[in-house]
Amino acid sequence: MATGFVSSPHSARINRVDWVMLQVCLALVPGTAALVGFFGWGVVINMALATVFAVTAEALVLLLRGRPVLPAIRDYSAVVTALLFALTVPPTLPWWLTLLGILFAIVIVKQLYGGIGYNPFNPAMAGYVFLLISYPVALTSWLPPHVPELLQAQDLATLSFMDSARLIFTGSLPPGLTWDAVTAATPLDQMRTLLDQGMTIPEIRQSPLWGSFGGRGWEWVGNWFLIGGLFLIWRRVITWHIPASFFAGLLAMAAAFWLLDPQTHPFPGFHLFSGGAILGAFFIATDPVTACTTRRGQLIYGAAIGALVFIIRTWGGYPDAVAFSVLLLNIAAPTIDRYTQPRVFGQRRRA
């Protein structure tokens, strides 16, 4: 007979943390495949690097803290953090920046607060923001999507696997190419720059850069992450509350301003299919540790992130805003939870 665990229930547990995390990894596959298809192998190299760094860092910190290492490594939470981090940084990021970002995420944001379950901020987003503020150029040097007409129109080149690897590990570009030839502004960046130059939306959209909603290529990546997100909802790893309210908040703000002035505010769908909106809504804002836990709280939390994303994209200093919005709401989550407690069975109301 087993000993030490005496209290009911005696049933077999139906969930496991590692299964939860592995399902998140699985759900990232379609979106990752789309990213690789459009932006090359740098994405995968970054993911592998980040994972190795994250797991090693976590193991070392746990050793230093005198905590059991294996159970923490086996929950795959460091892997999820690493993958999400790698999916948000440009595929050209030098390896040592990935290392820096991951060290910040795992060592400072996660482990110094006590490890999984105790960190107030989303580690992946904190690591990303840390790099974005410290190395803005490296963090905004995105590759152009692999759409032939687009590449021809702008006279851009793409990188092979070896090119990507060389760039990441040595920082050197393939012979004969300059940075200008391999990088391009992201649609959000482009939209923002052109609007700042006084162009109107119809003028901006003349450019071959644009697809039906967002930037060409880019808009498809969102769709594939959406599939992964729906998988997570189906598997009940996450609930619909945060993604739905995130989209509602973002679309409501975008629609309101678009209706007011369609000349200077892009169509709401642009916001949805640009930048990290979909990845953020399903995979980042839903991080259980740092999000709200009450149902009503989650709706407020998601909607506030969505609205903040629009606000920062439109009037803030950075082209995308998912990371900032998530971090801001992370710190508000405990307060939101406190004021949105559900009505307890048999109680009339709960303050």
Partner 1 sequence: MFTVPIKSLLSGNGTGTQTTAGGARLWRFHGGVHLPDEKALSNGEPAVDAPLPRQVMIPLQQHIGAPAQARVAVGDRVLKGQLIGEAQGYISAPVHASTSGVVSAIEPRPVPHPSGLRAPCVVIDTDGQDQWAELPAPITDFTAADAQTLRARVRASGIVGMGGASFPSNVKLNPGADQPIDTLVINGAECEPYITCDDLLMREHAADIVDGIRIMLHVLGAKRCLVGIEDNKPEAILAMRQAVAVAADRGDPGAALIRVVRIPTLYPSGGEKQLIKILTGKEVPSHGIPAQIGVVCQNVGTANAVADAVLRGRPLIERYVTVTGRAVAHPRNYRVPIGTPVADLIQASGGLQGQLEKLVIGGPMMGFRIDTEQLPLTKAANCILALTPGESPDPGDPLACIRCGRCAEVCPASLLPQQMYWHARAKDLDKVQDYNLFDCIECGCCAHVCPSHIPLVQYYRFAKTEVWAREREKRASEHARERHEAREARLERLERERKAKLRKKKEAIAPKAGAKPAGAKAGDGDAKKAAIEAARKRAAAKKAITSGAAGSAGADAAGADAAGGQG
> Which residues of this chain interact with partner 1, rule CB under 8 A?
1-2, 5-17, 19-20, 71, 75, 77, 115-118, 239, 288-289, 291, 293-295, 337, 341-347
- Say how far apart CA 80 and CA 345 lie, in whole Å: 36
Nearest residue to 157 (alpha-carbon basis) of 148, 166, 165: 148
Q: How far is the CB of 73 from partner 1 (least distance, A)?
A: 12
How many angstroms separate the first and last alpha carbons of the chain?
A: 46
- Say how far apart CA 225 and CA 123 lie, in whole Å: 20
Nearest to partner 1 of 127, 297 (CB atom): 297
Q: How far is the CB of 346 from partner 1 (least distance, A)?
A: 4
Nearest to partner 1 of 6, 137 (CB atom): 6
Q: How far is the CB of 7 from partner 1 (least distance, A)?
A: 4
Q: Are 143 and 91 in contact (CB under 8 A)?
A: yes
Nearest to partner 1 of 20, 195 (CB atom): 20
- Say how far apart CA 322 and CA 318 lie, in whole Å: 10
Q: Are 216 and 150 in contact (CB under 8 A)?
A: yes
Q: How far is the CB of 289 from partner 1 (least distance, A)?
A: 5
Nearest to partner 1 of 209, 237 (CB atom): 237
Instruction: Give the SS3 label for residue 284.
Output: helix
Cα-Cα-Cα-Cα torsion 14, 118, 318, 242, nearest 10 degrees, comes to 30
Nearest to partner 1 of 115, 228 (CB atom): 115
Q: How far is the CB of 3 from partner 1 (least distance, A)?
A: 9
In sequence order, the β-bridge partners of residue 210 are 215
| Cα 40-50-217 angle, rounded to 5 deg | 25
Q: How far is the CB of 33 from partner 1 (least distance, A)?
A: 27
- Say how far apart CA 283 and CA 6 lie, in whole Å: 36
In sequence order, the β-bridge partners of residue 215 are 210
Instruction: Give the SS3 label for residue 117.
Output: coil
Q: How far is the CB of 31 from partner 1 (least distance, A)?
A: 22
Q: How far is the CB of 19 from partner 1 (least distance, A)?
A: 7
* Helix residue ranges per DSSP H, 66-76: 69-74
Nearest to partner 1 of 75, 163 (CB atom): 75
Nearest to partner 1 of 262, 342 (CB atom): 342
Centroid of chain to Cα 250: 16
Nearest to partner 1 of 152, 338 (CB atom): 338
- Say how far apart CA 198 and CA 45 lie, in whole Å: 39
